[in-house]
Amino acid sequence: MIPNLGKEDTVVDYIESKWNGFRRFDFRFEDRKAILVFPDQAAEGNKWLLKTEYFDAFPSFELDMVKRGYYLAYLSNKTRWYTPEDADSKARFCEFLRREYAFHEKCIPVGFSCGGMHAVYFAAKYPQYVAALYLDAPVLNLLSCPCGVGASNGYLDDMYEEFVNATGMTRSELINYRNHPIDHVGELIKANIPTFLVCGDSDTIVPYAENGKVLSKMFVRQGGNLTEILKKGCDHHPHGLEDNTPLIEFVLKYY
């Protein structure tokens, strides 16, 4: 159930500008920063992407899709390490965009790194708003990142401190925690959400073996719909693909 919204209480301070030559609006939604980018000519159905964190990071794919008529949206999070309120606000944001701009009822969340965590939590909780997922080096195992238990042990102290301050959880509490993003992958598979996964096999911040590879194995084992590209010799950055063709074809097939 999504709470009813009053537009006058929800949206304020529209500012118009340009994003890579396209019309952009910045505004406040539920006291969160929101961004909308409009294509020159909307594709049939008013389809759209939802960048779930780091709006300006590695935008090559998003730019390609806006050129093809897709809208691009963003809603800021209380913390990049996720709170349940972040997913709930995104669901209401989807309703707002559908009502006020006639956007398609479903979107494609685009999640890089911590944004991948937000995308998984959101899609698992609100699959009715998700047509497909694009996850790029996603944080799925909180003990791996930001806690640094495993391949990146000792490397992520600043991230870990930020995580504790944002969530109040510590390494010892996470050992028996059953709400990691990876714990919700089964819900994505059950909801039959096609997922495109991009990872670097040499990621030292969000190690592939402890994050993306676990998701990949779950999809294979449970018969989920997964397309995976593993970048040889690539660390956490750069996100994205040198050639977006496989990803574009994935979106056009499932959305």
pLDDT 10s digits, 200-220:
999 999 999 999 999 999 999
CB atoms within 10 A of CB 123: 30
**Pairwise CA distance, residues 77 & 4, whole Å:** 20
Mean of the per-residue pLDDT values for the chain?
93
When comparing pLDDT for 103 and 148, which is higher?
A: 103
Ramachandran bin of 109, using left for φ above 0, alpha for ψ from -120 to 50, beta for the remaining angles: beta
Question: Confidence class of residue 5 from pLDDT cuts 50, 70 and 90?
Answer: very low
Tell me if 133 sits within 8 A of 111, measured CB to CB: yes
- What is the rounded (10 degree) CA torsion for 120, 125, 128, 134? 0
Q: What percent of the chain has pLDDT over 70?
A: 95
Burial class (CB in 10 A: 0-12, 13-18, 19+), 192: exposed
Exposure class string for 68-77: b at 16+ Cβ within 10 A, else e = eebbbbbbbb
Tell me if 178 sits within 8 A of 169, measured CB to CB: no
In the three-class reduction of DSSP (H, G, I as helix; E, B as strand; rest coil), residue 6 is classed as coil
Please give the C-alpha separations between residue 51 and each of 37, 202, 207, in angstroms, as whole numbers: 11, 24, 22
Please compute the mean of the pLDDT values over residues 157-181 and round it to a whole number.
92
**Pairwise CA distance, residues 105 & 5, whole Å:** 16
Pick the CATH number of 7-254 from 3.40.640.10, 3.40.190.10, 3.40.50.1820, 3.40.50.300: 3.40.50.1820
Fill in the DSSP letter of residue 222.
Answer: H
Question: Confidence class of residue 13 from pLDDT cuts 50, 70 and 90?
Answer: confident
pTM: 0.93
**85: its two tokens:** 């309120």
Chain position carrying tokens 């909780």: 125
Judge whether residue 4 has pLDDT over 60. Answer: no
Fill in the DSSP letter of residue 232.
Answer: T
Fill in the DSSP letter of residue 211.
Answer: T
- Report pLDDT for 151: 84
